[in-house]
Amino acid sequence: MPTVTNKQALLTQIFNLAKKKYELEAAESRPILEELLFSILREGTTQKLATDAYENLIKNFIDLNEIRVSSPTEVGEALSELPNAGVRAQRIVGILQEWFELTYSFNMDELPKKGQKEGARKLSRLHDVNEFSVAWVVQRGFGGHAMPLDTPTLRVLHRVGAIDDPTDSLDNISGTLEHYIPKAKGPLFTDLISEVAADVCHEKPKCPQCPLRNDCLYALNKSAPATGTPAEKKPRKSR
State how far the Cα of 57 lies from the Cα of 79, in Å rounded to an integer.
Answer: 7
For 95-123, the pLDDT digits (tens) are 999 999 999 999 999 999 889 999 999 99
Domain ranges of the chain: 7-25+148-222, 32-140
Mean pLDDT taken over the chain: 91
DSSP summary character for residue 23: -
- List Cα–Cα distances, 98 to 68, 84, 123, 128, 207, in angstroms: 9, 21, 11, 9, 44
Residue 236 has pLDDT above 50, yes or no: no
Task: Answer whether 165's CB lies under 8 Å from 148's CB.
Answer: no
Under the banding of pLDDT at 50, 70 and 90, the label for residue 184 is very high
Which of these, 148, 156, 154, 145, lies nearest to 18 by C-alpha position? 156
Measured in residues, the chain has a length of 239
CATH topology of domain 7-25+148-222: Endonuclease Iii, domain 2 (1.10.1670)
CA angle (179 as vertex; 221, 196 as ends), nearest 5: 45
CATH topology of domain 32-140: Endonuclease III; domain 1 (1.10.340)
State the pTM of this model. 0.90
For the chain, where are the E strands, in sequence order?
A: none
Task: Answer whether 194's CB lies under 8 Å from 152's CB.
Answer: yes
